[in-house]
Amino acid sequence: MKVLVVGVGNPGRRDDGLGGALVDRINVEKKGGQAPISREIGACPLSIKAEWKCQLNIEDAQAVQDADLVVFADATTEGEEPATLEEIAPAAQIAVTTHAMAPASVLALAEELYGRAPKAYLLAIRGYDFDIGETLSPQAAANLESALSLFSEFLLSLK
Amino acid sequence: MARKITIEPVTRVEGHGKVTIHLDDAHRVTQSRFHIVEFRGFERFVQGRPYWEAPVLVERLCGICPVSHHLAAAKAADVIVGLGLEGLSPTAEKMRRLMHYGQMFQSHALHFFHLCSPDLLFGADADPAIRNVIGVILRHRDLAVRAVLLRKFGQEVILATAGKKIHGTGAIPGGINKNLGPEERDALLRGPAPFNAETMIQWAAEAVEFFKDFHKKNRALVDGFAAFPSNHLSLVRKDGALDFYHGVLRAVDAEGRKVLDDVDYQTYLDHIGEEVRSWSYMKFPYLRRLGKADGWYRVGPLARLNTCDFIPTPLAQKEFEIFKDFTKGRPNNMSLHTHWARLIELLHSGEVIRDLLLDPDLQGTELVRKRKKRREGIGLVEAPRGTLFHHYQIDGHDQITMANLIVSTTNNNEPMNRAVDWVARNVLEGQTEITEGMLNRVEIAIRAYDPCLSCATHALGQMPLAVELYDAGGALLDRRSR
C-alpha cells in the first residue's frame, strides 16, 4: 500500500511549520526502520512517502493521484487539542488567491483531471503561535508528539 | 438604515485582507477600503542576521513567489560584496535569469487557470459550485491539463537552477552555487512532448489566443470593469525592453508621459515615498515628484506593458503590438487587461527560457565574483505581481542593521483600493440587496492583482476572506467566506 503524507505549512511562521515537522519526523523514523512504518499490510509492504509543501497547489493533484492513501498534515488555529485525524472527501472551492489551496480541492482536482482521488485524511495539529520565527511553541511541540502517536495508531489500524 | 459590508478574515489577520464598504441610508457608498497586514515583521526578523543569509531567509515570505524574494535579496547582497549592478559572471546572471523566468512562467500559468479563468468562463453571477477550477475542467479540460503542466514546467526550471522548487538556495552573494548541467538542460529543452520548451511556448501562445477570443465576445466586461487612470511603474532594460530581472526604474502617467525617467534603482529613496495612513497597516507608496495625492502607481503585468517600449522576443512582441494597438499606443488603464498582459508575459517567459537553455554560458564554471565590500545594498526585480524592492544595511560584523522591503502588494495598495472603490460605486451603490455575485465582483477586482493575502501562513481555520454584512447597529445580517 502506497501512503503519501503531505505536511503543509511555512516553517518560518513558528507553529505553521507543524506539518513540515511531522514530515521530518516520519522521514527520520523511516531511516531507522521503526515500526509501524516498516510493517506489512497483508502480503504488501507499507510504502510511506512523506513530503513538505509550503502551500498546496494544483500540481499536488498529480502527486496524490498516484497514492493509495493520502494524509494531509497541517497546523490548525481552532481545532481540538492536541490533534485530530478525519477522513476528507473531494470538494471544489472558489479561489480568492493563488497562495493557498484546500486539501479537498486538491482531491477534487485529482478526481477530475486524473480520474481518481485516493482515500484521504486530514491530520490537524493544534498550533498557537504563528508569529515569525523558526521554532515550534512548547505546546505545539507536545502536540506534534501526540500527532505522531495518532498517525502511528492509524497505520496499525490499516488492513 | 446605513449599512456596512465587511469582507474580512475569520480569525487572525496575518497575511489576510479585509474589505469594508460603508453605505448610507440611501445605499450610496460613503467609503470603501481594502486592508492587508504588511510584512514588516520579516524586516525585523532579518536584523542581526548575516547579510549572506538574507536570500534564504526572506524567501520564506512566500510559497508562491519565493524566487523573487530570493533574487531581490541576492541582488542587494551583490552590491554589498562590491559588485557593480552588471558585475556578475555571465553564467551567474543567466542562471538567475533562467530561475526568475521559470518563476514568472509557473506563477502566471497558475494565476490564469486558478484565479482568472473561472470568473471569465462562468461570469461573476455563476453558481459558486461551478465557478471554480473544477468547473473549468468540466468545460475546458484541455485548458486545465495544460495549466498544470505549464506550472510544473516552470517549477522544473526553478528546481534545475535553485536546487529546490520551493525555498531554493541557488543565488548567493556575488553569483550562484551551481550551473546547469547538460542533462538538466536537455530535459527542459528536448524532453518528450509535451514537456519541453517548444510545446510550452505553443501552449502559452494558445492561452493568449484564448483570452483574445474571450475579449472579442465580452468587450464590455473586459474593457469596462474597474477601469481607472493611474501612473505605472516597473523596471525596464536600459534600451526600454521588457525585463523582469534587471534594469532601470521607469514610470509613466495615465497619458504615457515619463514621470520617472529610467533612474538607477540604488537611488529609489529619492524617488519613492511611503505614506502611512491611520486605518491601514500597509503603507501607500508614491512617486515623490507627483506627491502623495497624485503619485500613486500600479505595478505588475499591466504596468510593465505600459512602461516598456518593446518585448525582446518575437512571439510576445507580436502580441505586445496587438495589445498596444488596442489603446492606440496609449497606456492601458483597464484592470481586467492585466490578465491579457499576464498571458503575453507568460509567452515571453517561455521564449526567454528556451533561448537561455540554448546558451552555452549556462554550462560555464565562473559562478561567483566578489570585490571590495560595502555596507549597503539595494536589489530590485520584477516579481510576477510587480516591482519588488529589497534594501539592506550592514555593520562591520556583516550583520544586517536595517532592512526595507516594498513588496508588489504594497506597491499596488492604492490601485487595489481604487479597484474596490470602483466596484462599490458602480455595482453596489443604490442596491437594496447585496448578492453573492456583487460581492464576488469586489473579489474579481482584487484577484486581478492577486495580492499576497495568505502566503506567509495559512493554517487550517484561517480563511483568506470572509464576507460579513452588518446593519447600522452592528448586528450581523449576512456572512460569507472563501
Range of the domain at A134: 2-157
Question: Which of A12, A57, A122 faces B60 most closely, judged by CB atoms?
Answer: A12
Q: B266-307, pLDDT tens digit by residue?
A: 999 999 999 988 777 778 999 999 999 999 999 999 999 999
- Can you give the residue ranges of every domain in chain B? 3-39+412-481, 40-171+180-411
Question: Which of B134, B447, B457 faces A96 most closely, judged by CB atoms?
Answer: B447
Query: With an 8 Å Cβ cutoff, is B1 touching chain A?
Result: no
pLDDT of residue A86: 92
| pLDDT at residue B458 tops 70 | no
Give, in order, the Cα–Cα distances in Å from B3 to each of B26, B422, B430, B465, B480: 10, 18, 12, 19, 16
| pLDDT at residue B456 tops 60 | no
CA distance B166 to chain A (A): 8
Number of other residues whose CB lies within 10 A of the CB of residue A60: 25
Domain count, chain A: 1
Enter the pTM of the model.
Answer: 0.87
- The 3-state DSSP class for residue B383 equals strand
What average pLDDT does the structure give for chain A? 87
More confident position, B75 or B11? B75
- Across the interface, whether the CB atoms of A94 and B128 are under 8 A apart is answered yes
Q: pLDDT band at residue B116, thresholds of 50, 70 and 90?
A: confident
Residues 6+ apart with CB under 8 A from A124: A74, A75, A76, A79, A80, A83, A84, A85, A86, B460
| pLDDT at residue A94 tops 70 | no
pLDDT of residue B481: 57
Q: Which residue of B has its CA nearest to A103?
A: B460
More confident position, B433 or A29? A29
Q: Which of residues 32-51 of B touch A (CB under 8 A)?
A: 41-42, 44-45
Q: Are A46 and A29 in contact (CB under 8 A)?
A: no
Q: B97-114, pLDDT tens digit by residue?
A: 999 999 999 999 988 887
Query: With an 8 Å Cβ cutoff, is B481 touching chain A?
Result: no
* Cα–Cα nearest to A73, from A31, A33, A23: A23
More confident position, B218 or A92? B218
Interface probe with A: pick from B460, B480, B481, B482, most Cβ of A within 10 Å: B460
pLDDT of residue B480: 57
Q: pLDDT band at residue A132, thresholds of 50, 70 and 90?
A: confident
Q: Are A129 and A75 in contact (CB under 8 A)?
A: no
Question: Which of A10, A15, A109 faces B60 most closely, judged by CB atoms?
Answer: A10
Query: With an 8 Å Cβ cutoff, is A10 touching chain B?
Result: yes
- In order, the DSSP letters of B231-254 are EEEEEE-TTSBB-SSS-EEEEE-T
Distance CA B223, CA B286 (A): 26
- Strands B248-252 and B258-263 come out as antiparallel
**What's the alpha-carbon Rg for chain A, to the nearest Å?**
15
| pLDDT at residue B453 tops 50 | yes
* Cα–Cα nearest to A9, from A129, A111, A155, A109: A129
Question: Which of A12, A58, A133 faces B151 most closely, judged by CB atoms?
Answer: A58
Q: B331-385, pLDDT tens digit by residue?
A: 999 999 999 999 999 999 999 999 999 999 999 999 999 889 999 999 999 999 9
pLDDT of residue B308: 98
- CATH code of A10's domain: 3.40.50.1450
Which residues in A lie closer than 8 A to residue B454 (C-beta atoms)? 97, 99-100
Q: Which of residues 66-95 of B touch A (CB under 8 A)?
A: 66
Superfamily per CATH, domain B40-171+180-411: Cytochrome-c3 Hydrogenase, chain B (1.10.645.10)
φ, ψ (nearest 5 deg) of residue A157:
-80, -10
Q: Which residue of B has its CA nearest to A54?
A: B63
Give a three-class secondary structure readout of B194-219.
CCCHHHHHHHHHHHHHHHHHHHHHCH
Q: Which of residues 97-126 of A touch B (CB under 8 A)?
A: 97-101, 105, 108-109, 112-113, 122, 124
pLDDT of residue B428: 77
Cα angle B337-B338-B343, degrees, rounded to a multiple of 5: 100
B167: left (phi over 0), alpha (psi -120 to 50) or beta: left
